[in-house]
């Protein structure tokens, strides 16, 4: 795992009193989420490419993992269509390597150290999509102090850099026996909003909601490793900057089974 300078921690804000109930139906879920820092300006705008209205209060986290297929053309086509039809798309790669045929997709961030957008090279990254400021970090190994370092950087991004969302790309695996996994990371985190897993074999077919140590929700999602290794998370804010709705779509065949444990 790679992290930059260690930043001074500040006290975390008080969390929700109780966990909200989530309704998962098919591959979509919509719910009210936590409060975020208000935006300084909010507006919708026409896309210069397609002419449709872009909701600048919403960000789409589109993410891939390591492709098992030698021909990821279906995934590439799907990504291109989503980016054409949707505004404020953040394209992320949680796998160790980017398929050569997918290298032209212009990822915003990747765990592949050979790419120019590698998080392991830049330690963390801050990206704007519309009015949403997103902080990105990565975690590839469960070292003894890994969670402490994640929480330190996540706190810096959320509180010092005013990121509305903090996302961690992870290679830990969804559920492990006797060692750290994405669930443990979520439960012991303090400022993470989303964990995107990219483990090749240890993944969850469905989106998963966990509570962090302050009883705040953390989204865990995995792009399953198959011919269409693609996941999507949509987060929308209201006019006061509060997280309003969340939608999940995992473009996966039904034959894909649940995560290994």
pTM of the model: 0.75
**Would you state the pLDDT for residue 252?**
43
Does a structural domain hold residue 18?
no
Does a structural domain hold residue 229?
yes
Residue 157 near residue 124 (C-beta atoms within 8 A): yes
Does a structural domain hold residue 68?
yes
**Would you state the pLDDT for residue 30?**
32
- Sign for the CA dihedral angle at 174, 175, 179, 184 comes to positive
Give one word for 156, left, alpha or beta, with left for phi > 0 and alpha for psi -120 to 50.
alpha
Contacting residues for 146 by C-beta, under 8 A, at least 6 apart: 1, 139, 180, 185
| Per-residue model confidence as pLDDT tens digits over 36-76 | 333 333 345 444 444 456 778 789 999 888 766 667 777 88
Does a structural domain hold residue 255?
no
The average pLDDT across 113-130 equals: 88
**Would you state the pLDDT for residue 148?**
92
**Would you state the pLDDT for residue 250?**
58
Q: Judging by DSSP bridges, how do beta strands 109-110 and 89-93 pair with one another?
A: parallel
**Interatomic CA distance for residues 85 and 98, integer angstroms:** 24
Domain that holds residue 234: 55-250
| Per-residue model confidence as pLDDT tens digits over 187-229 | 999 999 999 988 877 888 778 999 999 999 999 998 765 556 7
**Would you state the pLDDT for residue 129?**
92
Does a structural domain hold residue 47?
no
Does a structural domain hold residue 135?
yes
Confidence of residue 231 (pLDDT cuts 50, 70, 90): confident
| Per-residue model confidence as pLDDT tens digits over 152-163 | 999 999 999 999
Does a structural domain hold residue 179?
yes
**Would you state the pLDDT for residue 95?**
82
Residue 237 near residue 164 (C-beta atoms within 8 A): yes
What does each C-alpha distance from 51 to 45, 106, 133 come to in angstroms?
A: 9, 22, 24
Residue with tokens 């865990």: 220
Question: Domains in the chain: how many in total?
Answer: 1
CATH code of the domain containing 125: 3.60.21.10
**Who has greater pLDDT, 130 or 44?**
130
Does a structural domain hold residue 164?
yes
Residue with tokens 């600048």: 56
**Who has greater pLDDT, 118 or 244?**
118
């Amino acid at each position: 795992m790679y992290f930059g300078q260690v930043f001074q921690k500040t006290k975390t804000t008080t969390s929700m009193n109780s966990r909200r109930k989530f309704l998962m139906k098919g591959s979509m879920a919509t719910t009210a989420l936590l409060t975020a820092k208000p935006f300084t300006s909010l507006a919708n705008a026409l896309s210069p490419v397609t002419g449709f209205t872009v909701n600048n209060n919403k960000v789409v986290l589109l993410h891939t993992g390591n492709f098992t297929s030698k021909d990821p053309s279906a995934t590439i086509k799907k990504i291109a269509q989503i980016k054409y039809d949707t505004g404020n798309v953040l394209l992320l790669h949680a796998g160790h390597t980017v398929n050569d045929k997918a290298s032209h997709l212009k990822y915003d961030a990747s765990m592949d150290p050979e790419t120019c957008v590698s998080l392991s090279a830049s330690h963390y990254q801050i990206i704007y999509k519309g009015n949403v400021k997103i902080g990105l970090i990565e975690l590839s190994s469960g070292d003894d102090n890994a969670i402490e370092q994640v929480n330190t950087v996540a706190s810096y991004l959320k509180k010092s850099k005013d990121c509305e969302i903090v996302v961690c790309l992870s290679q830990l695996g969804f559920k492990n026996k006797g060692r750290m996994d994405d669930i443990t990371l979520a439960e012991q985190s303090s400022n993470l909003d989303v964990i995107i897993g990219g483990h090749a074999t240890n993944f969850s077919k469905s989106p998963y909601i966990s509570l962090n140590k302050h009883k705040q929700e953390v989204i865990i999602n995995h792009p399953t490793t198959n011919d269409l290794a693609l996941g999507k998370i949509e987060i929308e804010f209201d006019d006061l900057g509060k997280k309003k709705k969340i939608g999940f779509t995992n473009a996966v065949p039904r034959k894909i089974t649940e995560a290994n444990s």
